[in-house]
């Protein structure tokens, strides 16, 4: 990823975390890493753990940001989430996957939250 892409991703994650906090989510972790990869944000909404993937774009050239969370990415996030739940002994907790799409536009940022964006996926 280019330096500009990393900076855009970091800005998108900052905006997403603030947006989620404003929407009532409690941010538990940011950039959780394990041997399977990284999840951008782990949060809690009510009694539900929420694994959040943040996708940012600065133009519409590559389509809506949420379209970048395809099947392979869903499978990767699924593996990471199962590892997180096992590591924290939280396998009994309700969990879901949300995507926050951030458009970083000159006229202002647009943030879209997609709740229950996908189901647990391994195959």
Query: What does the pLDDT look like over 45-55, one tens digit per residue?
Result: 999 999 999 98
At residue 91, the 3 state secondary structure works out as coil
When the pLDDT of each residue in the chain is averaged and rounded to a whole number, the result is 87
- List % helix, strand, coil for the chain (3-state, nearest 5): 35, 40, 25
Distant-in-sequence, close-in-space partners of 33: CB < 8 Å, separation ≥ 6: none
Confidence of residue 11 (pLDDT cuts 50, 70, 90): confident
Cβ-based neighbours of 105, under 8 Å, separated by 6 or more: 58
| d(C-alpha 40, C-alpha 17), whole Å | 9
Write out the E strands in 9-94. 26-34, 37-45, 48-57
Q: Where are the domains of the chain?
A: 3-118
* 66 closest CA partner among 110, 105, 34: 110
Give per-residue pLDDT as tens, 30-84.
999 999 999 999 999 999 999 999 988 775 545 554 566 889 999 999 999 999 9
Asked if residues 33 and 123 have their Cβ atoms less than 8 Å apart, the reply is no
With respect to CATH, is domain 3-118 assigned 3.40.190.10?
A: no
Query: Which residues on adjacent β-strands are paired with residue 57?
Result: 103
């Amino acid at each position: 990823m280019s330096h500009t892409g990393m900076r855009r991703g970091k800005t998108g994650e900052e905006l997403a975390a603030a947006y989620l906090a404003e929407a009532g989510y409690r941010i538990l972790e940011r950039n959780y890493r394990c041997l399977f990869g990284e999840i951008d944000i782990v949060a809690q909404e009510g009694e539900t753990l929420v694994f959040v993937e943040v996708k940012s774009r600065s133009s519409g050239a590559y389509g809506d940001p949420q379209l970048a969370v395809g099947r392979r990415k869903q499978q990767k996030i699924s593996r990471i989430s199962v590892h997180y739940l096992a590591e924290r002994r939280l396998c009994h907790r309700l969990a879901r996957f949300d995507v926050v799409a951030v458009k970083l536009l000159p006229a202002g940022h647009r943030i879209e939250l997609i709740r229950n964006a996908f189901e647990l996926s391994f195959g």
